[in-house]
Chain A
């Protein structure tokens, strides 16, 4: 069975500062990795995903995540955050053959001016 750990429940940062949201997973089989974002009063939407190939994946709004197989991690980073990035971020994992997503407990990113 897979599991996902997001150690930080809340990360406060100032606008234009860099941020890293940590995600570690455990699985005995090959997996795909996802980051979903939930803006206030909305459902989740996909931010980025790792399927194969380059271990560094990017989103259209400046976030990136790096798949590290040896450390079983998929940390999310952004070099300079905006107020509008305030949201809850969920890391998730699925088996390659089966579409059941297992989510972490989420990290609330709070960006202040």
Chain B
């Protein structure tokens, strides 16, 4: 069965802290994605990666960075957390290919920045 796991379901951090969100997939997928989900805004793409050590900016990359050292793992980093980064963060993965591929999502990490 397809599985995408995220390191934490809930996380509370203080303003200015460095935050790491980890995502692991066991499907040997080439593509991985990080989204943030906010009420009334839907899902917005932060970064994606189509191969190890490769990354592309999404629609809202400011304040975030990513790392993909291994195929199965994609990390989202908040260099200096701010209150406006309080949100639900969703990781997804998919096979390489065109736009027809299904994205498989993790359960999400709800981050609260105080």
Listed in ascending order, the chain A residues whose CB lies under 8 Å from chain B are 6, 9, 31-32, 34, 36, 41-46, 49, 51, 90, 94-101, 103-106
CB pair A49 B106 closer than 8 Å: no
Given A98-B99, A99-B97, A101-B103 in contact, is the A43-B90 Cβ separation under 8 Å? yes
CA distance A41 to B109 in the complex (A): 10
Expressed in whole angstroms, the minimum distance between the Cβ of B32 and any Cβ of chain A is 11
With contacts defined as CB atoms under 8 Å apart, how many contacts are there between chain A and chain B in the complex? 63
CB pair B102 A99 closer than 8 Å: no
Considering the complex, give the chain B residue whose CB is closest to the CB of A95: B99
Range of interface residues on B (Cβ < 8 Å): 20 to 34
CA distance A105 to B42 in the complex (A): 4
Max count, chain B CB within 10 A of own CB: residue among A94, A97, A99, A106? A99
Considering the complex, give the chain A residue whose CB is closest to the CB of B56: A100
CB pair A100 B105 closer than 8 Å: no
CB pair B100 A90 closer than 8 Å: no
Given A90-B43, A99-B31 in contact, is the A43-B105 Cβ separation under 8 Å? yes
Query: B40's contact among A43, A44, A90, A105, by CB below 8 Å, is which?
Result: A105
Residue B77 at the chain A interface, CB threshold 8 Å: no
